[in-house]
Amino acid sequence: MARAKLKATPSTTDAPSNLSKARGDDRLTLAHVTHEAVEQLGGIGAVLEGMITSPVYQQQVKRTILVGPTSTQGAVDPQSRLGDHGEVLYSSVDNIDKLQLADKLRPIEWAFNTAIVYGKRHYNPPGLNRTGEAEVLLIDTFRINPDRLNRFKFKLWERFGLPSWKYESAWDYEEYMRLAEPCYYALLAIMHREDLPCVMFSHEFMGMPAVLQAIHDGPTKFRTVFHAHECSTVRRLVEDHPGHDTMFYNALRQARDLKLYVDDVFGSMDGYFRHGLISRTHLCDGLIAVGDYVRDEFRFLGRHFDDIPIDVVYNGLPVIPCTMKSKQASRTMLQDYSEKLLGYRPEVLMTHITRPVISKGLLA
């Protein structure tokens, strides 16, 4: 296959969405790289839904583009590729091109031996009187051109010291390395010049390869932000040690008093691919953490984090109207369930909705 020559040039034609910039609109264009671009699977998806439907967010942001990986190998209903609330506007594998994007996206698909799905996703959270809309850009990561991928990994090693050869056996790492370059060029293809600089958010480690690509090749076209929903390095230490968080946070406090970092206390973490990625988040233009503990954990990663600003942005929860009658009905249902399950009717109920995993404080 002939190698396509790609230029990082944004579109100068009309933008492919009704979310496009109008003349005089100085609101931002945001690209969120996430594994929850199509379906809300957990906390990150809930945070994105809260952002996108927030009136304050909508006042400041004109275009939201959710970027993630996909597989186009299976034969499915084309409209299902973006989930129940999505609308496919472009899909080369399904011969859909409602916005005449083929001239912009096909060269990227040919160059990287991939397929691109683009469309819109609608948000209408139950119980809330607000809605939102985002564009969705998906890259098939299963057949990426290996020559381009290896050159990209070498580029990240030369510039940022990222040793991909240590991590290639981890699909979570490999998948988002494959995503990085195609999504970078595809974003530029679907944006206006006046959309730039686009603010690229890496939600957890998944978006960091794309962020490093943007830092390397597009520093004038992108601003980069790492959104820390947790600190993956610390999560692994807490989960794997029998003392869990009791051990870790005592060690953290004493280590910081002695100006020590995670490698000084627990040994080198470089063999862990998530640490390899998040330990380079100080290169981003901004770093936000969902809580005070997460901020302190990132300070513990290394001296690069000593002097950079880390903004704490707490996750919000939507306020759904709830009457006393509905609360009492819910309480009765839980008491009935508990009585059948346990053989007695509890007077005090403490509820917590979560996955049954150790990271949520549920120990086997």
| Domains of the chain (ranges, CATH numbers) | 25-321 (3.40.50.2000), 324-360 (no CATH)
**What pLDDT is attached to residue 40?**
80
**What pLDDT is attached to residue 339?**
95
Left, alpha or beta for 267 (phi > 0: left; psi -120 to 50: alpha)? left
β-strand 61-70 against 311-312: which pairing, if any?
unpaired
- Cα–Cα dist 318/53, whole Å: 10
- At 254-290, the pLDDT tens digits run 999 999 999 999 999 999 999 999 999 999 999 999 9
**200 and 225 Cβ atoms separated by less than 8 Å:** yes
**What pLDDT is attached to residue 7?**
56
Confidence of residue 12 (pLDDT cuts 50, 70, 90): very low
**148 and 112 Cβ atoms separated by less than 8 Å:** yes
- Residue in 140, 225, 217, 154 with CA at minimum distance from that of residue 185: 217
Amino acid letter, 157: W
Q: What is the mean pLDDT of residues 164-177?
A: 97
- Cα–Cα dist 277/203, whole Å: 12
Confidence of residue 18 (pLDDT cuts 50, 70, 90): very low
Q: What is the mean pLDDT of residues 31-58?
A: 91
Radius of gyration of the chain (CA): 22
**What pLDDT is attached to residue 1?**
39
- Cα–Cα dist 15/195, whole Å: 10
Q: What is the per-residue DSSP string for 99-156?
A: T--HHHHHHHHHHHT--EEEEEEEE--TT-S--EEEEEEEEE-SS--HHHHHHHHHHH
- Cα–Cα dist 303/101, whole Å: 45
Lookup result for tokens 């962020």: 211
Residue 199 confidence (pLDDT) above 90? yes
- Cα–Cα dist 265/262, whole Å: 5
- At 81-137, the pLDDT tens digits run 998 889 999 999 999 999 999 999 999 999 999 999 999 999 998 878 889 999 999
Lookup result for tokens 């707490």: 314
Residue 24 confidence (pLDDT) above 80? no
**21 and 195 Cβ atoms separated by less than 8 Å:** yes
